[in-house]
Homo-oligomer: A and B are copies of this chain.
Amino acid sequence: MSTRQRAIDAPGTPDRRFYLGQDRPLRLDCGVELGPFTVAYETHGRLDAERRNAILVCHALTGDHHVASLHPITGKPGWWQTMVGPGKVIDTDRYFVICTNVLGGCMGSSGPKEINPATGRAYAMSFPVITVADMVRAQALLLDHLGIEQLFCVIGGSMGGMQALQWAANYPDRVFAAIPIACAARHSAQNIAFHEVGRQAIMADPDWCGGDYLARGRVPRAGLAVARMAAHITYLSEAALHRKFGRTLQNRDHITYGFEADFQVESYLRHQGSTFVDRFDANSYLYITRAMDYFDLAAEYGGVLARAFAGTKTRFCIVSFTSDWLFPTAENRAVVHALNAAAANVSFVEVETDKGHDAFLLDEPELFATLGGFLNGAAEHRGLGRS
**A190 contacts chain B at the CB level, 8 A cutoff:** yes
**Cβ–Cβ contact B233 & A259, under 8 A:** no
Of all A-B residue pairs in the complex, the 10 with the closest CB atoms, nearest first, are A204-B222, A30-B257, A129-B257, A189-B241, A190-B238, A196-B266, A189-B245, A189-B265, A197-B229, A197-B230
**A373 contacts chain B at the CB level, 8 A cutoff:** no
**A213 contacts chain B at the CB level, 8 A cutoff:** no
Enumerate chain B residues within 8 angstroms of A128, measured Cβ to Cβ.
Answer: 257
Which residues of A pack against B, CB within 8 Å?
29-31, 125, 128-129, 186-190, 192-194, 196-197, 199-201, 203-206, 222-223, 225-226, 229-230, 233, 236, 238, 241-242, 244-247, 255, 257-259, 261-263, 265-266, 269-270, 273, 286, 290, 293-294, 296, 325, 328
What separation, in Å, do the CA atoms of A257 and B205 have in the docked complex? 22
A245 to chain B, nearest CB (A): 5
What separation, in Å, do the CA atoms of A294 and B246 have in the docked complex? 13
**Cβ–Cβ contact A229 & B200, under 8 A:** yes
Say how many copies of this protein the assembly contains.
2
A223 to chain B, nearest CB (A): 7
Contact of A265 with B204 at beta-carbon distance under 8 Å, contacts A29-B257, A129-B257, A257-B129 already known: no
**Whose C-beta in chain B lies nearest to the C-beta of A191?**
B238
**Cβ–Cβ contact A247 & B200, under 8 A:** no
A115 to chain B, nearest CB (A): 22
Enumerate chain B residues within 8 angstroms of A255, measured Cβ to Cβ.
Answer: 294
Contact of A269 with B196 at beta-carbon distance under 8 Å, contacts A204-B222, A222-B204 already known: yes
**Whose C-beta in chain B lies nearest to the C-beta of A29?**
B257
Enumerate chain B residues within 8 angstroms of A265, measured Cβ to Cβ.
Answer: 189, 192-193, 196
What separation, in Å, do the CA atoms of A29 and B256 have in the docked complex? 11
**Cβ–Cβ contact B257 & A196, under 8 A:** no
Enumerate chain B residues within 8 angstroms of A328, measured Cβ to Cβ.
Answer: 238
21 contacts between A and B (CB under 8 A): A29-B257, A186-B247, A187-B247, A188-B241, A188-B247, A189-B242, A189-B263, A190-B233, A190-B236, A190-B238, A190-B242, A192-B263, A196-B263, A196-B265, A196-B269, A196-B270, A197-B233, A199-B259, A201-B204, A201-B226, A204-B205
